[in-house]
Amino acid sequence: MGGRFGYKRRVPEITLTKLDVAERQLRQAIRLLFGGGDEVSVHTLTCAASGVLRGLGTQKGIESPLRAAVTIHVYPEKQAEAFRLMSAAQNYFKHADRDADESLTFSPEATVYLLLEACLVHSHLTGYYLTESYVFFVWFWLKHPHVLKDGPLKAFFTSPQAKSFNPDYLDVVLDLIDWLRRTKGDRIPMTGTPIGE
């Protein structure tokens, strides 16, 4: 084993911004999701990235779509309960001070929607897509075109060409991320119709 912590590569120090941290977490959450990684780890990374991105977004007037939906559609006296339920898995995975002997029924599908929200907040905050988030958007809309409003984005993702791609071939999705990183770099500018909207 090489390196101080068993890694082959040793980096003495890294200077990071909050955005750098969130982007690293978001990239790894997406790669783990498509690589068949551990569901709890994907959820934990997603929630960590989402928390930082929501905080940065709030400072710039960018509201979390999921939290905005709760605020708009849930009775005020029920909102605290809705937010508690939304963060139940995150808190369970992170703390053991009040629930050390309890168990949790966890739905990994919820992580996909939290990832969608994190990617949306990130792209609105930065004006670009991470290569991983760009591919995640394409995969998500191919897998869930029914949630899109009628318009050009839905027309594209329900077209015969789009339907010819099977979003369940996750190894192809990882290959696409790697190919795009090699050919386009690690950031894709938001031009034209945003793919995340």
- Where in the chain are the domains? 18-189
Residue 1's pLDDT is 42
Q: What is the pTM of this model?
A: 0.79
Please give the helix or strand (H or E) that residue 129 lies within, else none. strand 128-130
pLDDT above 70 covers what percent of the chain?
Answer: 74
User: Which residue type does 135 have?
Assistant: V
Q: How far is CA 39 from the centre of its chain?
A: 13
What is the rounded distance in angstroms from the CA atom of residue 195 to the CA atom of residue 156?
A: 10
Residues 119-128: what's their mean pLDDT? 92
Contacts of 152 (CB under 8 A, 6+ apart): 193
Please give the helix or strand (H or E) that residue 130 lies within, else none. strand 128-130
Q: What is the pLDDT of residues 125-153, one digit of tens each?
A: 999 999 999 999 999 888 888 888 888 88
Greater model confidence, 104 or 171: 171
Q: What is the pLDDT of residues 4-56, one digit of tens each?
A: 455 566 777 888 999 999 999 999 999 999 999 999 899 889 989 998 998 99
Find the largest Cα–Cα distance for the chain.
55
Whether 183 shows a pLDDT value over 50: the answer reads: yes
Residue 127's pLDDT is 92
Greater model confidence, 182 or 67: 182
What is the rounded distance in angstroms from the CA atom of residue 121 to the CA atom of residue 58?
A: 10
What is the rounded distance in angstroms from the CA atom of residue 50 to the CA atom of residue 89?
A: 14
Residue 74's pLDDT is 60
Residue 14's pLDDT is 87
Please report how the helices 109-126 and 18-34 are oriented relative to each other, as an axis angle in degrees rounded to 10. Answer: 140
Residue 166's pLDDT is 81
SS3 53: helix
Whether 104 shows a pLDDT value over 80: the answer reads: no
Under 8 Å between Cβ of 122 and 130: yes
How is residue 41 written in tokens?
């780890």
Phi first, then psi: what are they for 23, rounded to 5°?
-65, -40
Greater model confidence, 192 or 95: 192
Q: What is the pLDDT of residues 49-103, one digit of tens each?
A: 998 998 999 899 888 777 765 566 567 786 666 555 566 555 555 655 666 667 7
What is the rounded distance in angstroms from the CA atom of residue 55 to the CA atom of residue 115?
A: 16
